Amino acid sequence: ETGVTQSPTHLIKTRGQQVTLRCSSQSGHNTVSWYQQALGQGPQFIFQYYREEENGRGNFPPRFSGLQFPNYSSELNVNALELDDSALYLCASSVRDRVTGELFFGEGSRLTVL
Protein backbone atom coordinates (compact mmCIF):
# COMPACT_ATOMS: atom_id res chain seq x y z
CA GLU A 1 0.00 0.00 0.00
CA THR A 2 1.51 3.32 -1.09
CA GLY A 3 1.20 6.17 1.41
CA VAL A 4 0.60 9.85 0.75
CA THR A 5 3.49 11.44 -1.11
CA GLN A 6 4.12 15.14 -1.56
CA SER A 7 6.48 17.14 -3.72
CA PRO A 8 8.59 19.12 -3.51
CA THR A 9 9.73 18.60 0.08
CA HIS A 10 11.28 22.05 0.37
CA LEU A 11 11.14 25.16 -1.75
CA ILE A 12 11.99 28.83 -1.52
CA LYS A 13 10.05 31.56 -3.29
CA THR A 14 9.95 35.34 -3.18
CA ARG A 15 6.99 37.57 -2.47
CA GLY A 16 4.58 37.88 -5.37
CA GLN A 17 5.58 34.62 -6.98
CA GLN A 18 3.31 31.63 -7.52
CA VAL A 19 3.81 28.07 -6.27
CA THR A 20 2.32 24.66 -7.06
CA LEU A 21 2.52 21.82 -4.59
CA ARG A 22 1.65 18.25 -5.51
CA CYS A 23 0.16 15.33 -3.66
CA SER A 24 -0.47 11.69 -4.49
CA SER A 25 -3.12 10.17 -2.30
CA GLN A 26 -2.91 6.80 -0.61
CA SER A 27 -4.05 3.88 -2.72
CA GLY A 28 -7.82 3.43 -2.49
CA HIS A 29 -8.47 6.93 -1.15
CA ASN A 30 -10.74 9.29 -3.09
CA THR A 31 -10.56 12.47 -1.02
CA VAL A 32 -7.68 14.88 -0.57
CA SER A 33 -7.45 17.66 2.01
CA TRP A 34 -4.82 20.35 2.30
CA TYR A 35 -3.64 21.91 5.55
CA GLN A 36 -1.27 24.75 6.33
CA GLN A 37 0.93 24.36 9.40
CA ALA A 38 2.76 27.47 10.52
CA LEU A 39 5.80 26.98 12.75
CA GLY A 40 4.76 25.95 16.25
CA GLN A 41 1.07 25.74 15.37
CA GLY A 42 -1.45 23.05 14.60
CA PRO A 43 -2.49 22.38 11.00
CA GLN A 44 -5.16 24.69 9.60
CA PHE A 45 -7.67 23.37 7.06
CA ILE A 46 -7.35 24.99 3.62
CA PHE A 47 -9.77 22.94 1.52
CA GLN A 48 -10.80 19.47 0.50
CA TYR A 49 -11.32 17.87 -2.90
CA TYR A 50 -13.67 15.02 -3.68
CA ARG A 51 -14.63 13.85 -7.17
CA GLU A 52 -12.45 16.59 -8.63
CA GLU A 53 -14.47 19.35 -6.97
CA GLU A 54 -13.80 21.53 -3.95
CA ASN A 55 -15.78 20.13 -1.06
CA GLY A 56 -15.32 22.51 1.83
CA ARG A 57 -12.95 25.41 2.39
CA GLY A 58 -11.34 26.98 5.41
CA ASN A 59 -10.60 30.64 6.06
CA PHE A 60 -8.11 31.13 3.22
CA PRO A 61 -8.26 33.74 0.45
CA PRO A 62 -9.03 32.88 -3.20
CA ARG A 63 -5.35 33.05 -4.13
CA PHE A 64 -5.20 29.58 -2.57
CA SER A 65 -6.67 27.21 -5.14
CA GLY A 66 -6.50 23.55 -5.92
CA LEU A 67 -7.21 20.75 -8.29
CA GLN A 68 -7.95 17.08 -8.00
CA PHE A 69 -7.27 14.77 -10.93
CA PRO A 70 -9.10 11.61 -12.02
CA ASN A 71 -6.44 9.47 -10.31
CA TYR A 72 -7.26 11.35 -7.06
CA SER A 73 -3.92 13.14 -6.94
CA SER A 74 -4.09 16.84 -6.19
CA GLU A 75 -2.35 20.18 -6.53
CA LEU A 76 -2.34 23.21 -4.28
CA ASN A 77 -1.65 26.52 -6.00
CA VAL A 78 -0.86 29.74 -4.21
CA ASN A 79 -0.66 32.99 -6.15
CA ALA A 80 0.86 36.32 -5.13
CA LEU A 81 2.87 34.77 -2.32
CA GLU A 82 3.15 36.69 0.92
CA LEU A 83 5.69 36.30 3.71
CA ASP A 84 3.01 34.81 5.98
CA ASP A 85 2.51 31.97 3.50
CA SER A 86 5.76 30.48 4.78
CA ALA A 87 4.66 27.20 6.36
CA LEU A 88 4.54 23.43 6.05
CA TYR A 89 1.79 22.43 3.64
CA LEU A 90 0.31 19.06 4.42
CA CYS A 91 -1.77 16.89 2.18
CA ALA A 92 -4.03 14.26 3.70
CA SER A 93 -6.04 11.58 1.96
CA SER A 94 -9.09 9.71 3.13
CA VAL A 95 -12.04 7.73 1.91
CA ARG A 96 -15.27 9.65 1.58
CA ASP A 97 -18.33 7.94 3.03
CA ARG A 98 -16.15 5.98 5.39
CA VAL A 99 -16.75 5.05 8.96
CA THR A 100 -13.35 5.47 10.53
CA GLY A 101 -12.72 9.08 9.55
CA GLU A 102 -8.97 8.63 9.51
CA LEU A 103 -6.84 11.10 7.59
CA PHE A 104 -3.47 9.91 6.34
CA PHE A 105 -0.96 12.75 6.09
CA GLY A 106 2.04 13.11 3.86
CA GLU A 107 5.34 14.48 5.12
CA GLY A 108 4.56 17.93 3.80
CA SER A 109 6.10 20.57 1.57
CA ARG A 110 7.97 23.26 3.45
CA LEU A 111 7.55 26.61 1.71
CA THR A 112 9.72 29.58 2.58
CA VAL A 113 8.73 32.97 1.16
CA LEU A 114 11.46 35.63 1.20
Q: Give the footprint of other proteins on this chain (CB under 8 A).
A: 4, 31, 33, 35, 40-45, 48, 55-56, 58, 90, 92, 94, 96, 100-108
Whole-number minimum distance, CB 80 to other proteins, in Å?
Answer: 25
Q: How does DSSP classify residue 60?
A: -
Q: Which is nearer to other proteins, 70 or 101 (CB)?
A: 101
Q: Which amino acid is at 26?
A: Q
Q: Which is nearer to other proteins, 82 or 107 (CB)?
A: 107
Whole-number minimum distance, CB 15 to other proteins, in Å?
Answer: 25
Q: Which amino acid is at 105?
A: F
Q: Which is nearer to other proteins, 78 or 103 (CB)?
A: 103
Alpha-carbon distance of 53 to 59, in angstroms, equals: 18
36-57 exposure pattern, b = at least 16 Cβ within 10 A, e = fewer: bbeeeeebeebbbbbeeeeeee
Whole-number minimum distance, CB 48 to other proteins, in Å?
Answer: 6
Whole-number minimum distance, CB 46 to other proteins, in Å?
Answer: 10
- CA distances, 2 to each of 19, 57, 68, 105 (Å): 25, 27, 18, 12
